[in-house]
């Protein structure tokens, strides 16, 4: 848990050191148990999860999600204030457990602020978290924390069952991956995913005269195979309305919903708005979430573009079946510096061989401004590139694409 803890032993509660595995088992079984109504299989699974956590992180992750689901169901019925408090405690402790699982996979982005235990927490200690523990470590973490609250509010307004009719009315999903492959075969250059992007946290507003439909049409005219549409409003000034406008305007390029996904609900929502693909970020999502979301994507017809930043994230994603499209972001999440040699580093040696054997399409992302940049990442092994800033800032984005590749790639 992040931050500094001030520990005050509550009177008459003895403190006795115990092993971490025993402590975790007792912690979960005690705090996740709502009382006699708790199903015995759930109680057993908690103990089994705790004792297995050190030897099998994946098993731990699976049981963590099951615990959250089953325990949430047990507490779903209306109750007294004490029951509501118990539920808050449960949610907080499951969140702590999820963060622990994510940490074992090298995930540094925390899904929500470490706010500490809810009011009325009953335990052997009272905790006080300092402010520095609740400060986002970087811009991605700040976005994810905000997105977690935003999606919770959206889900209340639009529960999943209410999206079913919208999914039935949504236009058919188009072949995002097929479009990239076709562009590569046609031009012998990486297929272009051109980004419809008004602003970014690091660069501010990129284009004042921003008309998403006009920009999308210019990209398509210039030879883009697919488009990426920013849908985050707070940090990138994007919207799902922009995505719908582009789709309804008759643009034929398949559309990637460029969103910060923290909940499977967002996948259904993106498809209902006409998206053909969606971004999943390995630095944010544990393996179990990625596996689950990839299956949901394929079920509703979306192509998942899974984004990685370093070797560990790449290795994690290559171990997951069903991933066909991986983006390498050349931007360092800690410093926000960009280095396109990151693409080459992640595609060398045995890792690159494994990528070729699995027939995974690699997308180069960030820091691509010139024909030399495109040639560099293509030689490293990419067959597609995602580019926004260097072309959206051009007065004529169509000509911007020609300048990026050093030649006309239009159909």
Catalytic residues: 195, 197, 258, 307, 329, 365-366
On the CB side of 204, how many CA atoms lie within 13 Å of its CA? 1
Alpha-carbon span 53 to 158, nearest angstrom: 36
Q: What residue spans of 158-301 are helical by DSSP H? A: 164-169, 176-187, 212-222, 240-248, 265-272, 287-300
What is the DSSP secondary structure assignment for residue 399, as one 8-state letter?
Answer: H
Tokens of 384: 């597609």
Q: How many CB atoms lie within 10 A of CB 134?
A: 14
In 3D, which of 55, 36, 62 has the Cα closest to residue 46?
62
Strands (E), 292-383: 303-308, 325-329, 361-365
∠ CA(114), CA(72), CA(33), 5° rounding? 85
Helix (H, G, I), strand (E, B) or coil at 374: helix
Alpha-carbon span 206 to 163, nearest angstrom: 33
Q: 149: which strand partners?
A: none
The DSSP line for 259-291 is ----STHHHHHHHHTT-SEEEEETTTS-HHHHH
Helix (H, G, I), strand (E, B) or coil at 42: helix
* CB proximity list for 5: less than 8 A, separation 6 or greater: 125, 127, 128, 129
The answer to whether the CB of 366 falls within 8 A of the CB of 329 is yes
In 3D, which of 45, 139, 148 has the Cα closest to residue 99?
148
């Amino acid at each position: 848990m992040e931050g500094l803890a001030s520990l005050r032993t509550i009177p008459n509660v003895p403190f006795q050191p115990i092993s971490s595995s025993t402590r975790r088992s007792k912690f979960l079984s005690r705090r996740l148990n709502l009382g006699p109504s708790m199903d015995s299989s759930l109680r057993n699974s908690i103990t089994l999860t705790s004792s297995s956590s050190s030897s099998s992180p994946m098993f731990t992750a699976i049981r963590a999600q099951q615990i959250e689901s089953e325990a949430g169901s047990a507490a779903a019925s209306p109750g007294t204030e004490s029951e509501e408090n118990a539920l808050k405690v449960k949610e907080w402790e499951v969140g702590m457990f999820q963060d622990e699982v994510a940490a074992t996979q090298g995930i540094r982005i925390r899904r929500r602020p470490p706010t500490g235990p809810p009011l009325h927490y009953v335990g052997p200690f009272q905790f006080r978290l300092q402010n520095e523990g609740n400060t986002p470590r970087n811009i991605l973490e700040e976005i994810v924390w905000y997105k977690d609250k935003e999606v919770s509010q959206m889900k209340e307004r639009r529960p999943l069952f209410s999206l079913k009719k919208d999914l039935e009315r949504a236009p058919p999903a188009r072949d995002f991956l097929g479009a990239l492959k076709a562009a590569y075969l046609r031009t012998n250059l990486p297929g272009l995913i051109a980004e419809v992007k008004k602003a970014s946290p690091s660069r501010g507003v990129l284009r004042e005269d921003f008309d998403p439909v006009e920009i999308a049409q210019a990209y398509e005219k210039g030879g883009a195979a697919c488009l990426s549409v920013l849908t985050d409003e707070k940090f990138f000034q994007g919207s799902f309305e922009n995505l719908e406008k582009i789709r309804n305007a008759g643009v034929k390029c398949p559309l990637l919903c460029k969103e910060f996904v923290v909940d499977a609900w967002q996948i259904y929502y993106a498809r209902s708005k006409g998206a053909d693909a969606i971004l999943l970020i390995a630095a944010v999502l544990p393996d179990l979430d990625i596996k689950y979301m990839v299956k949901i994507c394929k079920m509703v017809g979306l192509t998942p573009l899974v984004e990685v930043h370093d070797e560990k994230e790449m290795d994690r994603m290559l171990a997951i079946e069903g991933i066909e499209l991986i983006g390498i972001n050349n931007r360092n999440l800690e410093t926000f510096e960009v280095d396109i040699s990151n693409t080459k580093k992640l595609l060398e040696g045995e890792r690159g061989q494994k990528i070729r054997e699995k027939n995974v399409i690699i997308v180069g992302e960030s820091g691509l401004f010139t024909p030399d940049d495109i040639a560099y990442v293509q030689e490293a092994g990419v067959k597609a590139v995602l580019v926004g800033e260097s072309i959206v800032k051009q007065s004529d984005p169509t000509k911007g694409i020609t300048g990026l590749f050093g030649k006309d790639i239009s159909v």
